[in-house]
Copies of this chain bind each other. A is one copy, B any other.
Amino acid sequence: MALISLSRRLRRTPFSDGVEAAGVKGYTVYNRMRLPTVFRSIEEDYRHLKNAVQVWDVSCERQVELRGPDAARLMQMLTPRDLRNMVPGQCFYVPIVDETGGMLNDPVAVKLAEDRWWISIADSDLLLWVKGIAFGYRLDVLVTEPDVSPLAIQGPKSDDLMARVFGDKVRDVRFFRFGWFEFMGRNLVIARSGYSKQGGFEIYVEGSDIGMPLWNALMEAGKDLDVHAGCPNLIERIEGGLLSYGNDMTEDNTPHECGLGRFCNTNTAIGCVGRDALLRVAKEGPVKQIRPVEIHGSPVPPCGDLWPVMDGNLHVGNISSAAWSPDFNTNVAIGMIRMTHWNVGTEVDVITPEGIRPASVFEAFWQ
């Protein structure tokens, strides 16, 4: 196990003081920013997430802000998802593709107004792509990274905790919708969303200065709810089939390979960069696709790179994420599997760093 060497380049967040005080034990780096990975242990954090409520520093979900008369046009250029019926107050999960249809990011678009959007990004400098497109097309739009850092509240007691700090009206926010709520005189976007299947909210904290006051208010208000600092949990997110850009998909993959075809309206998303490239795959379907995979036997080691999926000597796919699930008493995994082997129940072998393991394509994610 190696240490992480921290420097300014791996950016601190408005909540780093709270994260450190809570005894963070491990980090990853996401959008050149610190993202905690474990507080007590991955298993203990997992159990607690499913039973109580956690506060997550997900500042690394940076925002790309589009502002100006061409904001909506630019937003539609970025994604094959048709955005015409999206209204302010909604969040859309939007695959972002390049001119070849390769995934550049899988963010959540937040429509603040017709001429103002946030793109809450996964791990790539999407800002540079959006700025490049806006500049190249001479669009009348300002593209920036604002001082907005999401703080996620996740777990079954999220509604109770949030109501204590923001009032009961926050309970009425519907899934992938957002409302405006006041804290310390600021109006904050709060969406019912988050990178777990346990329910909860994401607070788009605008202004770093109120980061720690909000963190402390939530911790104070949730004492009897057993609130604890947490973070996206490896086991829980694999169980729930929550994909991770950079892990389960890269710029090599089309949205269809990632199982995101339902978020693509390639025919009607007029102006989308990469539309031509995607039309054929939208019609024919991909030749490999993301699948839940069960790896049999004892707990697998940490998955730090692709693990080949084999049928004898035939390379039929790769595992990109895997972990032992205490609740399902098996190894849960996410893999990209060729169509010859992607049917439910197909038996395959997985080459792990600790040897070959039998595995099978599972029927659905485990949530």
Which A residues are closer than 8 A to B by beta carbons? 1-10, 12, 24-30, 32, 37-38, 98-99, 104, 123-126, 128-137, 244-247, 273, 302-306, 320-321
Contacts and interface: CB of A to CB of B under 8 A. Distances in A.
A272 B98 CA distance: 23
Contacts of A304: 6-8, 12
A4 B28 contact: yes
Given A5-B28, A126-B128, 11 more contacts: A3-B26, A5-B37, A5-B302, A8-B320, A9-B123, A9-B247, A10-B29, A99-B131, A129-B131, A130-B132, A132-B133
A286 B161 CA distance: 49
A156 B6 CA distance: 29
B4 A26 contact: yes
Number of copies: 2
A7 B25 contact: no
Q: A interface, by DSSP: helix, strand, loop or mixed? A: loop
Contact of A244 (B4, B9, B133): B9
A171 B302 CA distance: 44
B7 A303 contact: yes
Contacts of A125: 124-125, 128-129
A145 to B, nearest CB: 8
Contacts of A25: 2-3
8 contacts: A1-B3, A2-B4, A2-B6, A98-B131, A125-B125, A126-B128, A133-B136, A135-B136
Contacts of A126: 128
B247 A8 contact: yes
Contacts of A7: 28, 244, 246-247, 302-304, 321
Contacts of A3: 1-4, 25-27
A12 B303 CA distance: 12
B8 A246 contact: yes
A26 B9 contact: no
Contacts of A305: 8, 12
Contacts of A133: 132, 135-136
